[in-house]
A and B are shown apart, each in its own frame.
Chain A
């Protein structure tokens, strides 16, 4: 299990951009078909809005 911790809420200018790029890389590099147990036709469950 990969896990990335970052402190947010700091005032403007204390940049965590490189941490966010690592998170975005980790998320986009995973293989979603495995994750979703994707069986081809199954459409995602109805969206739950916050």
Chain B
């Protein structure tokens, strides 16, 4: 009985760690797909316009953005060497990193919320190595949220 109790505990701990690692792997897959989609989009638009975009109109990765109402008062102090900034806001704001922005731009093809069209699924699978294709299929249909063993580790031979 004691042995069973220990094994039951071990089983719960492992399942929780697998859940966390699956989420981590999904995020990595999303980032890989989002980055490749962005590069492909920019490559196609530069090819069609026969020229790179004007330097002032592009924002190179990595970046973060901070958005707030136009009515917000922002007091800003900057050190001479531009290595230190201090901002005081009198209103709410939001901070997002580039990964979040790419997802909002649709670069992760709807995989982040399980709403991926068949065409987007085909594109997404072409952007990842073969060993991850079953994962991408599971993410597209949101089916990797099961607690079954195969659902947990995302591929059938588990």
Contact = CB atoms under 8 A, between A and B. Distances in A.
A45 B70 CA distance: 12
A28 B140 CA distance: 31
> For chain B, what secondary structure do more than half of its interface residues adopt (helix, strand, loop), or is it mixed?
mixed
A34 to B, nearest CB: 12
Given A8-B64, A17-B100, A24-B94, 16 more contacts: A9-B62, A12-B31, A12-B62, A12-B99, A16-B97, A17-B96, A17-B97, A24-B95, A27-B94, A28-B92, A30-B92, A32-B92, A44-B71, A44-B73, A47-B72, A50-B74
A45 B73 contact: yes
Interface of B: 27-28, 31, 35, 61-62, 64, 70-76, 90-100
Contacts of B61: 12
Interface of A: 8-13, 15-17, 20, 23-24, 27-28, 30, 32, 35-36, 44-48, 50
A36 B17 CA distance: 44
B94 to A, nearest CB: 5
Nearest to A43: B71
B74 A13 contact: no
